[in-house]
Amino acid sequence: MTTETGTSERSILSFLDRRRPVVRVSVAAVGTLVIAGLVILCAGPLFWLFKAATSTTTETLSAPFSLWPSGIHWDSFVQVWTRVDFGRYFWNTLALMGGSLFLGLLVATTGGYGLAVLRPKYAKAVFAALLATLFIPGVISLVALYLTVIDIPLVHVSLLGSMWAVWLPSSANAVNVLLMQRFFANIPRELFNAARIDGAGPFRMFFSIVLPMSRPILGVVSLLTLVGSYKEFLWPLLVLPNPQDQPISVALPRLQSSIDFSQFMAALFISVIIPVALFLVLQRRFLQAAGNAGALKG
């Protein structure tokens, strides 16, 4: 399920078709158009954002497309980092991502292992309950989840204003558990049977067979979790009311009209350039993960 099988097979057009000049020219023309359109549409905003972040506010607001009439100004970036203390929001974002990743992987690997390999009698019921959450729209529990987080049942602790309020709920991600479960289920049973005969218990099998063998799926789930947590807005907005605890996504709308326009553009640019850089490096994995998610949904 990758997008890169292009080297081998044909698609709608055959090799024969492609030899015809009309087809060749029109494919080339359409291809150029598509690429040009995509560059303007998808990369254009990123370029413009960079331009706006390195121009003065007046320049951008009076002539949004003039290219650096008074040269490139980097001071907006400096201002954002020093005066606006963007570093703190950045750090908060990283902390949120890290915690969600750890807890998400913990729940998904142990749960997937239990469901796919250990398979006790109650596994069926758990699996059904898990599937059910996929079909019940998340919106139903937004308010109730919020009320749960501000007063955790049994222990009566309020997580409001603490990163746990984001970390813990994000770990209950059925898609991640199912991805793991599906992958683990494909590990040959003979491996486990052999290990059992060697006297290995569930823990040893988990650490010495399952985890080492599941690097690809761990990568996919990690990526999905990290991207998901970087993108979150409404939930952290609700449970992290204090500015000092907020991640970038929650801080940005607040900063929108309280800082200078070009500084704000710089803040937006900083917020987007890191995921974009990561994407350019890990392009294949990202696209694979996207395809995988689609495969699961299908």
Within 200-259, which residues bind other proteins (CB under 8 A)?
A: 201-203, 206, 230-231, 233-234, 237-239, 241-244, 248-250, 252-253, 256-259
Alpha-carbon distance of 150 to 147, in angstroms, equals 5
Angstrom distance (rounded) from CA 118 to CA 131: 18
186 near other proteins, rule: CB under 8 A: no
Which residue, 146 or 191, has its beta carbon nearer to other proteins?
146
Residue 2 or 208 having the CB closest to other proteins: 2
For other proteins, the closer CB: 193 or 256: 256
Q: What is d(CA 95, CA 163) in angstroms, rounded to the nearest whole number?
A: 8
CA–CA gap between residue 215 and residue 211 (Å, rounded) = 7
Stretch that binds other proteins, among 70-78, 94-102, 211-219, 278-286 (CB under 8 A): 278-286
The percent of the chain in helix, strand and coil, each rounded to the nearest 5, is 75, 0, 25
CA 129 – CA 93 distance, rounded (Å): 31
**Binds other proteins by CB under 8 A, chosen from 95, 145, 195, 200:** 145
Q: Least Å distance between CB 72 and other proteins? A: 19
Q: Which is nearer to other proteins, 48 or 218 (CB)?
A: 48
Rule CB under 8 A: which of 112-141 touch other proteins? Answer: 113-114, 118, 120, 122, 126, 129-130, 133, 135-141
Please identify which residue in 96, 97, 101, 103 interacts with other proteins, judged by CB under 8 A: 103
Closest separation in Å from C-beta 279 to other proteins? 5
Closest distance of CB 83 from other proteins, Å:
6
> Of 11, 128, 197, 212, which one interacts with other proteins (CB under 8 A)?
11
CB atoms within 10 A of CB 267: 25
Rounded-to-integer distance, Cα 116 and Cα 192, Å: 12
Give just the sign of the alpha carbon dihedral 148, 146, 135, 188.
negative
| Interaction of residue 14 with other proteins, rule CB under 8 A | yes
Q: Is the dihedral of CA 246, 249, 251, 253 positive or negative?
A: negative
User: Is 281:289 a contact under the CB 8 Å cutoff?
Assistant: no
Q: How far apart are CA 235 and CA 24, in angstroms?
A: 51
Site residues for other proteins, window 44-73 (CB under 8 A)?
A: 45-46, 48-49, 52, 57, 61-65
Q: Does residue 158 bind other proteins (CB under 8 A)? A: yes
Among 187, 191, 195, 293, binds other proteins (CB under 8 A): 293
Min. distance of Cβ 62 from other proteins in angstroms? 6
Tell me the closest approach of the beta carbon of residue 74 to other proteins, in angstroms.
20
Task: Return the residue of 101, 175, 177, 217 that touches other proteins, per CB under 8 A.
Answer: 177
DSSP 246: -
Task: Please give the structure tokens belonging to residue 94.
Answer: 């990283």
Q: Is 199 in the site for other proteins (CB under 8 A)?
A: no
Q: Is the dihedral of CA 292, 293, 297, 298 positive or negative?
A: negative
Binders of other proteins among residues 73 to 102 (CB under 8 A) are 83-85, 88
First to last CA, the chain: 12
* Residue whose pair of structure tokens reads 């549409």 in the numeric block: 41
Residue 75 in tokens = 């001071």
